[in-house]
């Protein structure tokens, strides 16, 4: 009896000493992040992993595209649109690591470090992890920025060389996440500068606890987060590349949120009482890029011929099922300035043969056809799409060899321009057409091994998208972008495949998860019923 009483007392004491049961949310991520260096990341997978850790100066409201304050409490813009003065939030605390304990709060030095690391080749961190700052370069930031000045510890003034309509929205993107200058200086002094990108600290809602590539990422809610502690205590990314396995884990309750379901699984998901599917139009585009600097795709007639040879409807019916719509333009129909008057190239194999003959290929040709090795939000199965394209092209005398590589290698080689044709895609970052038309198709990103994998640099198109950047009036910008879409279709640097509907299966016990138009997965503000 005495032992039983002691055991009861011990259990009661233990329960009294412990906090309420910790809330843990498991996200079945589709892959491993490239790294924790926000300035060089280019994939949604990496953005998801990084956005839990870092903040930006301004941010998009949850589930929307409106810019609101974050690490900056407010900002002033000069009448000519050239000068932005940011008034930074005071008292924002940093995470810490086993190797480093910050001695100060976030300040202007950290903001300037984020910019200098990507802008100035003389900065000691310019080449750390990688010198290919794709977003910064693709958006023309090196030429746009005139000066970045520290007025005091909590005020930074940025002066531009010309007005830039999407500038604030651009600063809300993940490439502009803030890292600690104090941490960077300490690691540089220790001879291990790469540690800031491998063992990161940020000011975000979650701190990194553990990362095991291709297995798991563990985060813990940051109790001193400036906007208030997250509702969940522990966040786990269970890295699960196979969509069928993600669905099996969701059914069993082994994960609570999963991205990018197989279209074929949707009916079963809708019948599961423990699962709800969130849905909204996708701000994305999946495409086959033609390398316009390589034969035969330097010839616009060949590009149109291949467009006419591929049965787009059959691809969407077979691969996207009910989760995609045919893409005509390089921006999705839900985006402002979309030009609905443009007609797609028809599926017409006989016309394709004739166009190939006129272009100097009466007996057909041999090409490569690159296909992504992973599922993406804009493309559920690139390998299957490549096989369908290959069969269609064979019917007009074009022999296509399908090639693929590991995902990181694939993107690197595509950006280097090693392909003749290759599948890729894009999910919008900020809700502005510039993010598609200039970042993906402008001369800046064609020349810097950036996101313009078609290597498309066409003067008439470039003039329109560059002019649209400098104008603040939405109606004028809309007209310029509508004209740019006409030129895009005439020049056809891509075979536009589809815009995928954003579908997110989540467990019913998950509360307040909001779909992002950018297909990001943000878990601050999300709760879970234990």
Does 166 lie in the same domain as 233?
yes
Residue 208, Ramachandran bin (φ over 0: left; ψ between -120 and 50: alpha; else beta): beta
Q: What is the model's pLDDT at position 9?
A: 33
Does 475 lie in the same domain as 517?
no
Does 200 lie in the same domain as 170?
yes
Q: Specify if 272 maps to a domain.
A: no
DSSP type of residue 376: B
User: Structurally, how many domains does the chain consist of?
Assistant: 2
Does 46 lie in the same domain as 159?
yes
Residue 57 belongs to a domain with what CATH number? 3.90.76.10
Q: Which two tokens stand for residue 137?
A: 């370069």
Q: What is the model's pLDDT at position 14?
A: 33
Nearest to 266 by CA among 503, 16, 515: 503
DSSP string computed for 462-506: HHHHHHHHT---HHHHHHHHHHHHHHHHHH-SEEEEEEEPEEEEE
- Within the chain, how many helices (H) and strands (E) appear? 19, 20
Q: Specify if 3 maps to a domain.
A: no
Rounded CA gap, 278 and 505, in Å? 6
Q: Is 305 helix (H, G, I), strand (E, B) or coil?
A: helix
Q: What is the dihedral of CA 353, 354, 355, 360, to 10 degrees?
A: 90
Q: Specify if 9 maps to a domain.
A: no
Contact 71, 85 (CB under 8 A): no
DSSP string computed for 181-195: HHHHHHHHHTT-TTH
Does 296 lie in the same domain as 234?
no
Q: What is the model's pLDDT at position 408?
A: 87
Does 461 lie in the same domain as 517?
no
Rounded CA gap, 201 and 311, in Å? 48
Q: What pLDDT tens digit does each residue of the chain (530 aa) get? A: 333 333 333 333 333 333 458 999 999 999 999 899 999 998 999 999 999 999 999 999 987 889 999 999 999 999 999 999 999 999 999 999 888 999 999 999 999 999 999 999 999 999 999 999 999 999 999 999 999 999 999 999 999 999 999 999 999 999 999 999 999 999 999 999 999 999 999 999 999 999 999 999 999 999 999 999 999 999 999 999 999 999 999 999 999 999 999 999 999 999 999 999 999 988 999 999 999 999 999 999 999 999 999 999 999 999 999 899 999 999 999 999 999 999 999 999 999 999 999 999 999 999 999 999 999 999 999 999 999 999 999 999 999 999 999 998 999 999 999 999 999 999 999 999 999 999 999 999 998 889 999 999 999 999 999 999 999 999 999 999 999 999 999 999 999 999 999 999 999 999 999 999 999 999 999 999 97
Q: Specify if 274 maps to a domain.
A: no
Does 220 lie in the same domain as 354?
no
Does 475 lie in the same domain as 429?
yes
Q: Is 395 helix (H, G, I), strand (E, B) or coil?
A: coil
Q: What is the model's pLDDT at position 20?
A: 59
Q: Specify if 353 maps to a domain.
A: yes
Query: CA separation (Å) from 178 to 50, 91, 208, 359?
Result: 11, 15, 15, 51
Does 192 lie in the same domain as 165?
yes
Residues in Cβ contact with 33 at an 8 Å cutoff, skipping those fewer than 6 apart = 41, 43, 45, 46, 48, 49, 50, 217
Cis peptide before 20 (omega within 30 of 0): no
Does 513 lie in the same domain as 493?
no
Residues in Cβ contact with 392 at an 8 Å cutoff, skipping those fewer than 6 apart = 309, 310, 311, 314, 349
Structural domain harbouring 395? 284-502
The pair phi, psi for residue 487, each rounded to 5°, is -65, -40
Q: Specify if 362 maps to a domain.
A: yes
Q: What is the model's pLDDT at position 7?
A: 35
Q: What is the model's pLDDT at position 11?
A: 33
Does 522 lie in the same domain as 448?
no
Q: Which two tokens stand for residue 354?
A: 């004739």
Q: What is the model's pLDDT at position 6?
A: 37
Does 228 lie in the same domain as 84?
yes
Q: Specify if 234 maps to a domain.
A: yes
Stated pTM of the model: 0.89
Query: CA separation (Å) from 34 to 29, 123, 197, 412?
Result: 13, 22, 10, 12
Residue 316 belongs to a domain with what CATH number? 3.10.105.10
Q: Specify if 459 maps to a domain.
A: yes
């Amino acid at each position: 009896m005495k032992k039983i009483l002691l055991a009861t007392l011990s259990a009661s004491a233990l329960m009294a000493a412990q906090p309420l049961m910790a809330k843990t949310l498991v996200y079945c991520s589709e892959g491993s992040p490239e790294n924790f260096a926000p300035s060089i990341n280019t994939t949604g997978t990496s953005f998801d992993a990084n956005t839990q850790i870092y903040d930006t100066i301004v941010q998009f409201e949850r589930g929307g595209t409106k810019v609101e304050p974050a690490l900056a409490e407010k900002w002033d813009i000069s009448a000519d649109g050239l000068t932005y003065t940011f008034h930074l939030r005071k008292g924002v605390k940093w995470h810490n690591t086993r190797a480093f304990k910050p001695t100060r709060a976030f300040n202007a030095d950290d903001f300037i470090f984020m910019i200098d690391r990507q802008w100035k080749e003389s900065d000691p961190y310019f080449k750390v992890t990688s010198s290919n700052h794709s977003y910064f370069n693709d958006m023309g930031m090196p030429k746009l920025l005139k000066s970045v000045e520290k007025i005091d510890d909590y005020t930074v003034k940025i002066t531009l060389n010309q007005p830039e309509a999407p500038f604030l929205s651009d600063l809300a993107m993940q490439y502009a996440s803030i890292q600690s200058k104090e941490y960077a200086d300490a690691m540089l002094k220790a001879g291990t500068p790469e540690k800031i990108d491998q063992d990161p600290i940020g000011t975000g809602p979650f701190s990194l606890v553990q990362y095991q590539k291709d297995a798991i990422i563990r985060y813990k809610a940051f109790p001193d987060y400036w906007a208030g502690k997250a509702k969940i205590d522990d966040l786990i990314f269970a890295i699960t590349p196979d969509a069928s396995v993600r669905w099996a884990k969701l059914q069993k309750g082994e994960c609570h949120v999963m991205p990018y379901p197989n279209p074929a699984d949707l009916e079963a998901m809708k019948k599961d009482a423990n699962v709800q599917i969130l849905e909204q139009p996708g701000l994305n585009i999946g495409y086959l890029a033609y390398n316009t600097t390589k034969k035969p795709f330097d010839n616009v007639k060949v590009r149109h011929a291949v467009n006419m040879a591929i049965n787009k409807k059959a691809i969407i019916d077979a691969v996207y099922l009910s989760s995609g719509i045919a893409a005509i333009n390089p921006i999705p129909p839900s985006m402002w300035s979309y030009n609905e008057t443009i007609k797609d190239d028809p599926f017409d194999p006989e016309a394709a043969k004739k166009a190939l003959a006129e272009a100097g290929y009466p007996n057909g040709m041999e090409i490569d056809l690159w296909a992504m090795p992973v599922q993406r939000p804009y493309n559920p199965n690139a390998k299957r799409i490549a096989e369908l394209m290959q069969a269609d092209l064979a019917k007009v005398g074009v022999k296509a060899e399908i090639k693929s590589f590991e995902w990181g290698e694939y993107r690197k080689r595509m950006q280097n321009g090693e392909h003749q044709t290759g599948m890729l895609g894009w999910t919008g970052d900020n809700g502005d057409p510039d993010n598609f038309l200039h970042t993906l198709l402008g001369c800046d990103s064609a020349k810097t091994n950036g996101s313009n994998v078609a290597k498309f640099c066409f003067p008439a198109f470039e003039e329109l998208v560059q002019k649209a950047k400098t104008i603040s009036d939405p109606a004028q910008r809309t007209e310029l972008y509508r004209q740019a879409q006409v030129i895009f279709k005439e020049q056809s640097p891509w075979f536009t495949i589809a815009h995928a509907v954003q579908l997110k299966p989540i467990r019913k016990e998950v509360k307040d998860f909001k779909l992002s138009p950018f297909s990001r997965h943000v878990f601050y503000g999300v709760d879970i019923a234990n």
